[in-house]
Structure 1
Amino acid sequence: MTTIFKTPFATQGDKASIPVEIQPDGSVSYTQGYGYDYERDQVTDPAAKDIEREKMNGIFHDITEAVGEIQSFGFPKWAEEGKPYAIRTIVYHKNKVWQSKVENNNIEPIAGNAWAELKADATAGDVGAYSKGESDKRFQPLGNYTPSGHSYSKLETDTKYQPKGNYAPAGNYANKGDSYTKTESDGRYQAKGSYQPSGDYATNTALNSGLNYKFDKSNVTQSTGTSTVHVMSQKASTDAFQPKGSYQPSGNYALAGASYTKIESDGKYQPKGSYQASGYSYSKSETDTKYQPKGNYAPAGNYANKGDSYTKTESDDRYEKLGNLKQFKKPASTVNADKTIVKFESNMIGKQLFAIASDSRAYQFTVLPSPYTSTILWYGGGQFWGSTVTASSDGKTLTIHHPGYTGPTDMYVLE
């Protein structure tokens, strides 16, 4: 079972610190370890060395303490002795996890250009980005969209067009109700044929009226004194004429079955109108597949994908303003009585500072990170004086060594 080193080895025991460098007397060090002197014969060789209990406790203590840090925090603690840290090194410091953003990092972990805080619960707001919900409300999925106004909405399409179908060609059709059904036609008209012209014909009653008739096979002749009336026989009349009734006036009528009933017409044709030709409009399904809902979309263009460009906050943190945009500013600072320590409210590392001397002259220098030193050249009394400047790890405190000349009375920065 793995041991969790919550308590380093020999925490309360006797232990001695182990030096890193090789020791002149050959004693144990982290660089050399236990040298040859520890292998010599303890009885015959006076140069033989014992393995010291305190130093062995110290070695085990250092190892288990380092392992315990990683077991507890996941990463080693940041320490001055660990500087400089390589780029992308991860450390634990002040209840936070940090990753180095620069090579040879000598700065104590703090939000800025040198370190980035790693968070398991980082939100979109922490990195200056939109959350998924915000993005869904503000943006549409990437695609080659048609500019606004080049397609109809569903409501517009439903209002302007009818569903796709096999419609009759446009024509001058009779409106519904302007023609008779077969039943109506059969009730109003007789079958087409060669009928006797309209006239005053004898009836069956006239044949039995007691007049003098002369019959032959098919005709009857009635004598009326001065004239003779020729009357057709009953059989001949029945064969030649239809029963008396209220018939449709003579005309050129369509034969039965040559026209559609109202129901048949309604089933085959749509109401008369100026229709769009078939295939010139999309169905709802086709419209939904081909087009997106109407909206105010960005013009078509070659846009960068999300994440391929920096946010304003990221750019401000990574880059300084262009030279022609820099301004000569007076940051909040205090200078102690002997003018050797200047304290600022913000990090000055990497910035151009101007030290104002008692004669109102300004002397320029750039603040370098610890352990490097900056140099200010002062002029006075007919000669130049050199002063060195060292910065604290957070870049907020400058220590000025100015032998032989007075220090600054004030500080300005160009940014």
Structure 2
Amino acid sequence: MTTLQILWFILIAVLWTAYLALEGFGLGAGMLMPFLTKSDRERGAVVKAIGPHWDGNEVWLLTAGGATFAAFPEWYATMFSGMYLALFLLLVALIVRICAIEWRKKINSDQWRARWDWAQSISAWVVPILLGVAFANLVQGMQIAVVKPSDPMTAVPVDQIDLAHDVHNLVGGFWSLITPFTLLGGIVVAALFLSHGALFLNLKLAGDLGDRAAKLAAPLSLASTGLTAVWALWAQFAYGSGQPLAWVPLAIAAVLLIVSTAATVTGKIRPAFWASFAGIAGAVAFIFTNMAPDVMRSAIDPAYSLTLWDASSSYGTLKLMTIVAVILVPIVLAYTVWSYYVFRAKISVDDVHPAGLLKDKIRLGENFLATN
């Protein structure tokens, strides 16, 4: 194992941390919309709160996937082929959510906007649940075996493994990914996003709507912290790799989430939000520390696990990627901080004004791309 392999394993964890901590409150806002808002304009205020940021936050997800593909191609191939259906559903949910945010304002119709708001809320629930199930599978281990490319569903005997010619593959099928532990993982991520989103909306929305978000934040924070504690202890005792280092991020995440909950209950929303932000980062660090040195753990036999060094690209590739990352990552970070600074002002329901094409003025059957 080289320093660059460890570095890129850590960097991928950092990219996932940025996505989950930033987009977590955006998804949480969408999840809360049906329960928090009472009118079309209030729903518009929620969408306006996340509108300037969702696309920038998605960059971290795309970069995490791209970095995995470039730095650890066999990890990417094994994960995306084995979780194909689940990741396809995740992609569909992300696309629907994007359409819902961007298209709701295209037609000036309460019914049009209401339908897209429901589409956003449903997709916002689907995304964290699927992500939680996926991360829980990385911790629990999957029905992964080393197979011949010509026979991808039959495991090669352990004493006959030849990684120069054999590959790793999920032989258990889609339903092997669904267990009580992984389902709880999905619920935990959804709960964390709900409380994170409620804190964000209180900071971002003025008036009664923001106050309602604060009232929801306290019970949601208590629930998410409790669920996370149950899942994390289950993960460490039942599926831990045995290395004491995994207790460090677990303890840090636990303290931060407890601090966030305490601050939320006492009405200190801003410190609670940042503690929640850091707590999510600690939880991601725990997941990656727990699964190391494997990137895909086999529940069939540890000999079938895909390790960090077996999944890695060449030294030259990792070196080039490091140079590019040193140049570009600070730029992305600076842009992200700048965008949140520019759009830091609170949003009022009075700031929301219906816009878009008038429904009764649209000519049915006309192609808006057609020219005379």
- Normalising TM by the smaller chain, what interval? under 0.3
The structure with the largest alpha-carbon Rg is 1
Q: Which has the higher contact order (CA 8 A, sep 6+)?
A: 2
TM-score (normalised: structure 2) = 0.17
Higher strand share: 1
TM-score (normalised: structure 1) = 0.16
